[in-house]
Amino acid sequence: MGTSADSGASAAGSRLPIKVALAGASGYAGGEILRLLLGHPAYRDGSLVIGALTAGGNAGTTLGSHHPHLLPLADRVLGPTDIETLSGHDVVFLGLPHGNSAEIAEQLPESTVIIDCGADFRLTDADDWEKYYKSAHAGSWPYGLPELPGGRDKLVSATRIAVPGCYPTVSSLALAPAVAAGIVEPRVNIVAVSGTTGAGRAPKADLLGSEVMGSVRAYGVGGAHRHTPEIKQNLSAIAGADVTVSFTPVLAPMPRGILATCTAPTTATVDEIRAVYEKAYADEPFVHVLQEGQLPQTGAVVGSNVVQIAVTVDTDAGLLVAIAAIDNLTKGTAGGAVQSMNLALGLPETDGLSTVGVAP
């Protein structure tokens, strides 16, 4: 195979290309960030270059041995995740297990745009952090979900960004318009079915293909999942008051995708609710409010940055039913990260992000 395709043309328009590093390159979040960057217009015209790729235990191996789908970078050797390797970049993506970001972040210059796909800087409440993560709170950074009310402003020119969790992304966007409009009571119930990449790439017996194929199972039941306080934080901020959140994650036999079924008590009509959602997301490039009669499916958003949302009312039960689908690796992690990078750097927000899924 020759090297002409996807080479990310050498002749940059800019004298000083943006230099991007990625820590955690052998994981799923890291691989998806690289997939998106390889298709980013700035990479393709040479104004963005992919610098250091690092890993923990996988340092010294090639990227291709972990991500054979990323052919243009297959021969890149992963460096160690340390400050020497990550220094000298304009943007540093962190795809690390939680608890590792703060130490790196404080050693990098203030001007470096750090985009953390881990949980470390998502929660504003130290007690919540300590309760759910059993460690000291590192603080909080601007939250990388521009579609939330006021969310975009915090990201423009930001140099520290906490990318939301995958469940909070889909759940918050499914409920935000209703909560913001005050048309639901502040008690929400979320059951979200996820593909297995959300559980990461560390080998565990219960994530083996033999175990997950042909089976669904719940986990983190009863409010135990760490994304619960993050969803509560998002919705409460929008409501301006405490929102009660019941959240149950379910693991399904597919690699990618989350489908969240969200309910909340309402007395509004379906027309009122649809009007609220359509208005809230009218200008959002990645949020697609489905027409009446259509329902989301995760397969339609695989590889894309799209959030599909359907809303209706269960009149017998007196509930708003909002169902939303995302690709947990794209909009739920890496897509959100690249979207945030675009905003931070002043690039067009949608660059490198697609509204076209890979289906079936």
Which residues inside 213-272 make contact with its own copies, applying CB under 8 A?
213-219, 221-223, 228, 244-246, 248, 250, 252-257, 259, 261, 263
Contact between 325 and its own copies by CB under 8 A: the answer reads yes
Give, in order, the Cα–Cα distances in Å from 292 to each of 275, 311, 313: 12, 8, 11
Using CB under 8 A as the binding rule, whether residue 355 contacts its own copies is answered as yes
What does residue 229 show for φ and ψ, rounded to 5 degrees?
A: -65, -25
> x-or-dash pattern for its own copies, window 11-40, by CB under 8 A?
-----------------x--x---x--xx-
User: Does 308 contact its own copies by CB under 8 A?
Assistant: yes
Asked if 342 is part of the footprint of its own copies (rule: CB under 8 A), the reply reads no
First to last CA, the chain: 28
Q: Which CB, 105 or 175, lies closer to its own copies?
A: 175
Among 168, 296, 335, 336, binds its own copies (CB under 8 A): 296
Angstrom distance (rounded) from CA 16 to CA 345: 13
Q: Does 323 bind its own copies (CB under 8 A)?
A: yes
Asked whether 317 and 20 are in contact (CB, 8 A), the reply is no
Residue 237: CB minimum distance to its own copies, A: 17
Tell which one of 12, 49, 71, 183 touches its own copies (CB under 8 A): 71
Task: Confirm or reject binding of residue 72 to its own copies (CB under 8 A).
Answer: yes
Is 9 among the residues that bind its own copies (CB under 8 A)?
no
Q: Using CB under 8 A, which of 20, 166, 301, 344 touches its own copies?
A: 301
Measured distance CA(160)–CA(174) in Å, rounded: 25
Catalytic position from the list 21, 36, 158, 166: 166
Question: Would strands 217-218 and 244-251 be described as parallel, antiparallel, or unpaired?
Answer: antiparallel
Q: Smallest distance from the beta carbon of 226 to its own copies, in angstroms? A: 14
- Of residues 68, 126, 156, 157, which one binds its own copies by CB under 8 A? 68
> Measured between alpha carbons, how far is 123 from 141 in angstroms, rounded to an integer?
8
CB of 222 to its own copies, least distance (A): 4
Q: State yes or no: residue 149 binds its own copies (CB under 8 A).
A: no
Of 87-95, 119-127, 156-164, 185-193, which segment contacts its own copies by CB under 8 A?
185-193
With beta carbons less than 8 A apart as the criterion, state whether 222 and 283 touch: no
Mapping DSSP to helix (H, G, I), strand (E, B) and coil, where does residue 194 land?
strand
Is the CB of residue 33 less than 8 Å from the CB of residue 337? yes
Residue 43 interacting with its own copies (CB under 8 A) = no
Q: Could you say whether residue 353 binds its own copies (CB under 8 A)?
A: yes
83 binds its own copies per the rule CB under 8 A: no
Distance CA 54, CA 90 (A): 16
Q: How far is the CB of 69 from its own copies (least distance, A)?
A: 3
Region near its own copies per CB under 8 A, out of 12-20, 85-93, 164-172, 205-213: 205-213
**Type of residue numbered 210:** S
Q: Distance (Å, rounded) from C-alpha 229 to C-alpha 282? A: 28
62, 31 contact by CB (below 8 A)? no
Q: Quote the CA–CA distance of 205 and 211 in Å, as a whole number.
A: 8
Q: For its own copies, which is the closer residue by CB, 138 or 188?
A: 188
Task: Work out whether 289 is an interface residue with its own copies (CB under 8 A).
Answer: yes
Tell me the C-alpha distance between 190 and 234, whole Å. 14
Residue 288 tokens read as 């697609």
**Residue 166: active-site member:** yes
User: Looking at the annotation, which residues are catalytic?
Assistant: 166
